Structure 1
Amino acid sequence: MAQLKTDFPPIRACICDMDGLLINSEDIITQSTNQLQKYSRPTLTLSVRAQLMGIPDSTNGEVFHNWAKLPISREQFARESKEQMHMLFLSCEPLPGAEKLLSNLSRARSASPGDRIELPLASSTKSHSLS
């Protein structure tokens, strides 16, 4: 029987994907997009939402606009959507367990004496949406 490998190198970093791990940004983007109702358009369907997930600026693309058939320009929708997302991100709460995970990781040390584990953040969400 083969031995399991146990001599792994020390952990130096843990990359966290913000979207769906730390916060539920997809729900925020969906809420923002559902402002279409004021233009007598339907709410975002699960199938369209799935096609847009993980794609930066997806509500400015062909898939979204071919589905939405908005009575306003893409530029106007982008401005309105940006404002709405900014407001929603201001009140965004971490997902359950996210704070504990980050707290535990920030206190952890790598095998090198005193070196902290780096915690970079990954996201396909545009940074202006988060500020």
Structure 2
Amino acid sequence: MNRLSAAAKSFNKVTHVIFDLDGLLLDTETIYTEATNNVVQHYGKTYTWEIKSQIMGLTGEEAAKHIVKLLDLPITWEEYYRLAHEQYKLLMPRAKFMPGAENLIKHLHRSKIPMAVATSSTKESADLKIAKYKDIFSLFNHMVMGGSDPDVKHGKPSPEIFLVCASRFEDSPAPEKCLVFEDAPNGVTAAKCAGMQCVMVPDNHITADQTSHATVVVKSLKDVKLEQFGLPSLK
């Protein structure tokens, strides 16, 4: 509590908000784990949290290469990628909003705060996840899908995706005017390297030292204090 109180003195006012997608707005991380294990168990392997924590935030291709290498799978990363996507198509339509996400999006929209999504997913993958919620996602100014966007050459923890995302707002705000919401350490690192403040909503498996570089850490999006960053208070 003291750490957050002290940090509050140095918070900068922001004008724009950027959200991650997986595990932050939509509860897809459990689905990713299930889908990955459905593939790797055929080779006698298990997709553990230790491995997952190393690839969160990476693009699909980068993640596939890491999984094949870390689990020593007897297939190419391209073959793994194909098998995994077959599983995603089956399971991703089950994805639901994380606690507080829908309310926060609607609140920022009503308050006329420009907001966007910066996800490491491909457009195909992101479209699959948000298909049931097009009305909510239509409230965003834009979405950057790092896995297939030609302007995003490197996945998180590179700051590239957040800088590209900021540049696509109509008024192209400076990085320090953007507030990022993330759930993964790689994503937080990317936001900080981009020169942006970052609110982290970590998975329960994430250790305290993996959250230390976030501007603020909260248990859920329902607990966000927007007024700390000069934004309209969440009702």
The normalised TM-score by structure 1 is: 0.74
* AA at the equivalent of 1:107: R
Residue 93 in 1 paired to residue 96 in 2?
Answer: yes
Residue 30 of structure 1 corresponds to 33
Residue 129 of structure 1 corresponds to 125
Residues 38-77 of structure 1, C-alpha deviations (whole Å, 9 max, x = no match): x14222111111111111123321x321232334443222
Bigger strand share: 2
* AA at the equivalent of 2:47: L
**Which of the pair has the greater relative contact order for Cα pairs under 8 Å at 6+ separation?**
1
Q: 1:25 to 1:125 in 2, by over 3 A?
A: farther
Q: Is the 8 A contact 1:41 1:68 kept in 2?
A: no
Indicate the SS of the match to 1:15.
Answer: strand
Q: Please give the alpha-carbon distance, in whole angstroms, between the structure 2 residues aligned to 1:42 and 1:24.
A: 24
Residue 111 of structure 1 corresponds to none
The normalised TM-score by structure 2 is: 0.44
Q: Please give the alpha-carbon distance, in whole angstroms, between the structure 2 residues aligned to 1:20 and 1:76.
A: 25
Instruction: Report the Cα offset of residue 117 of structure 1.
Output: 1.7
Residues 107-130 of structure 1, C-alpha deviations (whole Å, 9 max, x = no match): 11xxxxxxx221211111222212
Q: Please give the alpha-carbon distance, in whole angstroms, between the structure 1 residues aligned to 2:100 and 2:69.
A: 38
Q: Which has the larger radius of gyration?
A: 1
Q: Please give the alpha-carbon distance, in whole angstroms, between the structure 2 residues aligned to 1:28 and 1:67.
A: 20
Q: Is the 8 A contact 2:43 2:73 kept in 1?
A: no
Task: Provide structure 2 residue ranges, at least 5 long, that are not aligned to the other structure.
Answer: 1-8, 128-235
- Identify which of 78, 82, 88 aligns with 1:75: 78
Q: Please give the alpha-carbon distance, in whole angstroms, between the structure 1 residues aligned to 2:18 and 2:69.
A: 35
Residue 50 of structure 1 corresponds to 53
Q: Please give the alpha-carbon distance, in whole angstroms, between the structure 2 residues aligned to 1:66 and 1:75.
A: 12
Residue 112 of structure 1 corresponds to none
Q: Please give the alpha-carbon distance, in whole angstroms, between the structure 2 residues aligned to 1:104 and 1:12.
A: 14
Q: Pick which of 70-79 and 52-61 moved more.
A: 70-79
* AA at the equivalent of 2:125: S
The structure 1 segments of at least 4 consecutive aligned residues displaced by more than 4 Å after TM superposition are none
Residue 120 in 1 paired to residue 124 in 2?
Answer: no
Q: Please give the alpha-carbon distance, in whole angstroms, between the structure 2 residues aligned to 1:101 and 1:21.
A: 12
Q: Please give the alpha-carbon distance, in whole angstroms, between the structure 2 residues aligned to 1:89 and 1:130.
A: 10
Residue 22 of structure 2 corresponds to 19
Residues 9-57 of structure 1, C-alpha deviations (whole Å, 9 max, x = no match): 7x542212212221133322222111121x1422211111111111112
Q: Pick which of 99-108 and 63-72 moved more.
A: 63-72
